[in-house]
Amino acid sequence: QVQLVESGGGLVQAGGSLRLSCVASGRTFSSYTMGWFRQAPGKEREFVAAISRSGGSTRYADSLKGRFTMSRDDAKNRVYLQMNSLYAEDTAVYFCAAAQGEYYSTYYGLRDYAYWGRGTQVTVSS
């Protein structure tokens, strides 16, 4: 089992950047595929990005490609989400999630992920 805690959210102006961080408990962090999801008010939770256990494969929501970058540091039990050129539409609670999966695979479905953090609020002002 793994516990996840997100940080780095806040208020930023449109066009600005934020870097989210997610730290995981436990010694088996490297055995998890990691993902970021977000949920805006009144909307369903949606996929943002994922990174494989190997760290060499990433996947992004089509609408976010080129603006968001996900990375992981297994030595620190952390994943990061660098968000650039933010729009008001990026305002949401961002969640970190962990899935047990294949070494080179990434997943974009909510049901693929068994473990979730509580989220961190990102607000982009226009």
pLDDT at residue 97 tops 90:
yes
**Residue 119: partners with Cβ closer than 8 Å, 6 or more residues away:** 6, 39, 93, 94, 95
111 has pLDDT over 90: yes
Q: Residue 27: its pLDDT value, please?
A: 76
The token duo for 112 is 């693929």
Rounded distance between C-alpha atoms, residue 84 and residue 76, angstroms: 23
Mean pLDDT of 11-16: 98
The residue length of the chain stands at 126
Would you say residue 28 has pLDDT above 80?
yes
Say yes or no to pLDDT of 26 above 90: no
What gap in Å lies between CA 114 and CA 94, rounded to an integer? 16
Q: What is the pLDDT of residue 30?
A: 92
